[in-house]
Structure 1
């Protein structure tokens, strides 16, 4: 619910909002379990957040490397990419450690559009192709 008028920009803003929620999920229960640190000191908490930020960057770069090298199916059960770059990188590092593989990191983040956006299900893929919005300026007569 919102007091703002609904238009295509509203949907774009909500899409960005859900991406932020996924990042918070990675920081909390789905990944780094930041709340379990129980740190109260501002300096210690900022240091931990810095380490987590660098780790997240490393994992995203690793995930991009896994995808671009065509190896994502080893850690992602989806036919197309169904995981975030961070999750791909996280799962790849775990696998690489257990298999004693050499870890290579993609050297930079690209500003180009995502070559293969994450789509976790066929329904989600179909919805992306069928999405159409009509903005009404008034309610239709019933």
Structure 2
């Protein structure tokens, strides 16, 4: 629901919102399980959120580097990138620890557009090509 007019820019904004929802999923059940901390103290919770934010940045940097270096298939079984950069980084760190690889720290993210957006399945990729929207300026007569 929204009080915004329904037009193509509105759909573009909604698409961006879904990217944010993935981040919430990483904070919750798909990653850090933040709700399980059951912290009641505001200061302790803010400290935990700060540590999680830094950890997320580190893992995203790792995930971006994994894709840029062509090693994505080592930690993501999808033909196309099917995981968030955070999950790719998390899997890469886990693999690096078990394989006793040196873990590099990458200092920045590129400002270039995402070269390989995440697509979890071929069905999702096919559906993205089928979406078309028509903006009506008035309701048709019934």
Provide the aligned length of Structure 1 versus Structure 2.
142
Is the 1:75–1:91 contact (alpha carbons within 8 Å) kept by the matching residues of 2? Answer: yes
Q: Where do 5+ consecutive residues of structure 2 fail to align?
A: none
Aligned-residue RMSD, C-alpha:
1.5
Alpha-carbon separation, structure 1, partners of 2:10 and 2:31: 29
| Structure 2 residue 135 is the aligned partner of structure 1 residue 124 | no
Of stretches 5-14 and 53-62 in structure 1, the one that deviates more from structure 2 is 5-14
SS of match in other structure, 1:64: helix
Alpha-carbon separation, structure 2, partners of 1:61 and 1:141: 53
Q: Hey, what does 2:19 align to over in structure 1?
A: 19
Q: Displacement, 1:63?
A: 0.1
SS of match in other structure, 1:67: helix
Of stretches 131-140 and 117-126 in structure 1, the one that deviates more from structure 2 is 131-140
TM-score between both structures, scaled by the size of structure 2: 0.91
Q: Hey, what does 1:68 align to over in structure 2?
A: 68
Q: Displacement, 1:141?
A: 4.6
Q: Displacement, 1:104?
A: 2.0
Alpha-carbon separation, structure 1, partners of 2:110 and 2:59: 15
